[in-house]
Amino acid sequence: MDFTKEVATRTALFEHLDSLVARSADGNLAWDQTASFEFQGETIAIRQTRGRGIQKPRQLDAALSITTAFTGYGRQPPYEDSIGPDGYPRYKYQGTDPNLAANRSLRTAMKFSLPLAYFIGVREAVYRPVYPVFIIGEDPGEHEFSLGFSRSEVGLDLSTLSPPEKVYAARTTKQRLHQPLFREQVLHAYSSRCAICRLAHPELLDAAHIIRDSEDGGDPVVPNGMALCKIHHSAFDRNFLGITPDYVVKINRELLEEVDGPMLRHGLQEMHNSTLTVPVRAAEKPDPVRLERRYEGFLQVAS
C-alpha cells in the first residue's frame, strides 16, 4: 500500500467536498456533484455506480467512501444502516461475504485508520456528506462494520463501554448524522415554511420533534417532525402551544388571557384554533398518534 497516496487523496477529497458544500445552499450535494474529482492528474471515483454503497477507486487499496441511499419517508429512519446499542452507527456489508472485495476495502481502511466520506441520502439523488468517518470495528456475525468520528476510536472495544460513554456516543451520532438529516427532510417536506405561520425563511426555521428524541418514539423521521419557526418551536416545546391529533393549533389559556405587545397578539394568540399546514404526501404528515401523546402533555399544563 502507498500510505502517503492514501492519505493525500483523502485530504484532497475532503477539501474538494468543503468547496462544494460551501457553495451549496443547504449543505447537500446532488449525485452528479460527487461522482469524481481530479487529483494529481487523475480522475478519482468518489462514487461510481448507483446502488453500490462501498467505493474503492482503482488507484487506492482502501475504500474512499460509503453511501446510504434515500429510501422514502416511511416511519423508519430513511437509511438501512442502524445504530448499535453502544450508540455507534453501523454500516452493512456489501452482500454477506466478508471476503468480497468491497468489504475487504473497508477492513483495510480500518486497519490503517484511514478516514472516509459518508454520503447519506436525504431525498432522491441528493446526499448529505459527512466526513471524516472511520471504520472502528467489525461484527462478521451481523455482517456489519461500526463507524466512528475519530481516528482514536479505531479498534475500540465497544463491548466494554460504560453507560456514560454509550450516552456520549449516541449523542455524537445524533449530532453528526441524525439531526442534519432530520432537519433537511422535515424542511423539504414542508417546503421550508413554518407549519403554523407560513414563515418562509429557512434560517429562521427548525425541525421540531413531536416526541422528543430522548423519549421512546422520538425517532428522527418526518412523521415525528414539523417545520416550525423559532418562536413557535419554542412555544411548542414549553407547552405554550399545543397541536391536536387533527392538526388544530391550541394556545395555552393563560397565554390567551395575557395582555402584551404585537408579537404575543399576532404571533401566538391569533394562531389559536388555526389549522396546521401539513405536507400533501400522507407519509410526510405528522403522525396523529404521536400528536395525541404530545397533546395530552400539553393539556396537563394548559388546563
**Paired sense of beta strands 65-68 and 54-55, if any:** antiparallel
pLDDT band per the 50, 70, 90 thresholds, residue 48? low
Query: Which CATH number covers residue 9?
Result: 2.30.280
H/E run at residue 288: helix 288-302
**Do 146 and 65 belong together in one domain?**
yes
How does DSSP assign 185-210, residue by residue?
HHHHHTTTS-TTT----GGGEEEEES
φ and ψ of 143, to 5 deg:
55, 50
Give 228-273 pLDDT, tens digit per residue: 999 999 999 999 999 999 999 999 988 877 777 777 888 888 999 9
**Do 160 and 277 belong together in one domain?**
no
Question: Is the pLDDT at 108 greater than 60, yes or no?
Answer: yes
- Confidence at residue 218, expressed as pLDDT on a 0 to 100 scale: 84
**Do 196 and 178 belong together in one domain?**
no
Enclosing domain of residue 177: 3-184
pLDDT band per the 50, 70, 90 thresholds, residue 77? very low
**Do 147 and 227 belong together in one domain?**
no
d(Cα 259, Cα 38) in Å, to the nearest integer? 63
**Do 225 and 132 belong together in one domain?**
no
Residue that finishes a domain, picked among 131, 159, 184: 184
**Do 229 and 279 belong together in one domain?**
yes
Give 208-239 pLDDT, tens digit per residue: 999 988 788 888 889 999 999 999 999 999 99
**Do 145 and 93 belong together in one domain?**
yes
Residue whose C-alpha cell is 404585537: 262
**Do 145 and 288 belong together in one domain?**
no
Residue that finishes a domain, picked among 154, 184, 214: 184
Q: Domain total for the chain?
A: 2
